[in-house]
Amino acid sequence: MVTRGHISKWCLLIFLLVVNVSTDNESCDTDNCRSDERGMTSQAVVLYDEKLVSPFHKASRTFSFVGKELVIKQDWKRLGIAAVVWDAAIVLCEYLEKNKELVSGKTIIELGAGSGIVGIVAALLGGKVTITDLDIALEYINEVVDENLRDHPGIDVHVKNLDWTKDWSKFTADYDVVLGADIIYIEELFNDLLKTFLQTCHENTLVLLSWRYRYDRDNKYLEMMRQHFTLDKIFYNSSRDVTIYLGKLIVRNKSDAK
């Protein structure tokens, strides 16, 4: 027999959630979101299930790297793609943890850092890290860094503004490693991103580029990179469909330049 108490109990357990229906179950950007005839994002009413909630729309996500629990705050509503943890970042963190010699004791810059998790992990592994992104994201990144590294006063990490369209010239090629996770997506910025790589790399700098193929234009950027850098696929995560490339500046002698 179902009593009113039973009904009340179930009412407390069952919630309705309006979720975006996207062609990509992990993201909803301007290319992937489906819109109805009125220009509104398509929606569906479903029973609440934590597994159905996009990881990007959670207030925070928890990861374990370098023997430490990292709680990464997210702010999709305010900052969108700049304030969430992308799969490419997770895969790059996992790769660095298994290959810490790539970053330990090295001077590192992360481009388009977003949540900053890659830079944080690189710093925990012993790197001297500069985490960069647009000015609008810096307050958020500083909060994430402070919340996760406040108990590690010896960690060497700095957060700086870097707009690829104008700020790249403020940085010099003083870095042993340049990191980038899912930073290939806006074709209009391809030339500026390439300039930023060229500005921050010297002949011995290693570029670690973690990337998920989404659009044909992405390959166009890789080809642009290959005009100036060697670019080798060194790792592929099939479950997340993320590839990591290792790049190094091609040094041309004067006769080649002619």
Residue 97 in domain: yes
* DSSP string for residues in the chain: ---HHHHHHHHHH--EEEEE-BSBTTB--TTTB-B-TTSPBPEEEEE--GGGS-GGGSSEEEEEETTEEEEEE--HHHHGGGGS--HHHHHHHHHHHHTGGGTTT-EEEEES-TT-HHHHHHHHTT-EEEEEE-HHHHHHHHHHHHHHHTT-TT--EEEEE--TTTTGGGS-S--SEEEEES----GGGHHHHHHHHHHH--TT-EEEEEE---SHHHHHHHHHHHTTEEEEEEEEETTTTEEEEEEEEPP--HHHH-
Residue among 172, 141, 139, 145 nearest 157 (CA):
145
Structural domain contains residue 36: no
pLDDT at 221: 94
Full-model pTM: 0.77
Question: Which pLDDT does position 49 carry in this prediction?
Answer: 44
State which residues form the domain around 91. Answer: 59-249
Cα 189 to Cα 187: distance, rounded to the nearest angstrom: 5
Domain count, the chain: 1
Task: pLDDT tens for the chain, 258 residues: list them.
Answer: 444 344 333 333 333 333 333 334 444 443 333 333 334 343 444 443 444 447 777 888 999 999 999 999 988 777 777 778 989 999 999 999 999 999 999 999 999 999 999 999 999 999 999 999 999 999 999 999 999 999 888 899 999 999 999 988 889 889 999 999 999 988 999 999 999 999 999 999 999 999 999 888 889 999 999 999 999 999 999 999 999 999 999 987 654 444
Q: What is the structure's pLDDT at 32? A: 39
User: Is 77 within a domain?
Assistant: yes
Distance (Å, whole) CA 60 – CA 113: 17
- Specify if 119 maps to a domain: yes
Does residue 116 fall inside a structural domain?
Answer: yes
For residue 176, the domain's CATH number is: 3.40.50.150
Domain for residue 26, yes or no?
no
Helices 117-124 & 135-149, crossing angle to 10 degrees? 40
Asked if residue 150 belongs to a domain, the reply is yes
Q: 126 — alpha (psi -120 to 50), left (phi > 0) or beta?
A: left
User: What's the pLDDT score for residue 42?
Assistant: 39
| Domain assignment of residue 198, yes or no | yes
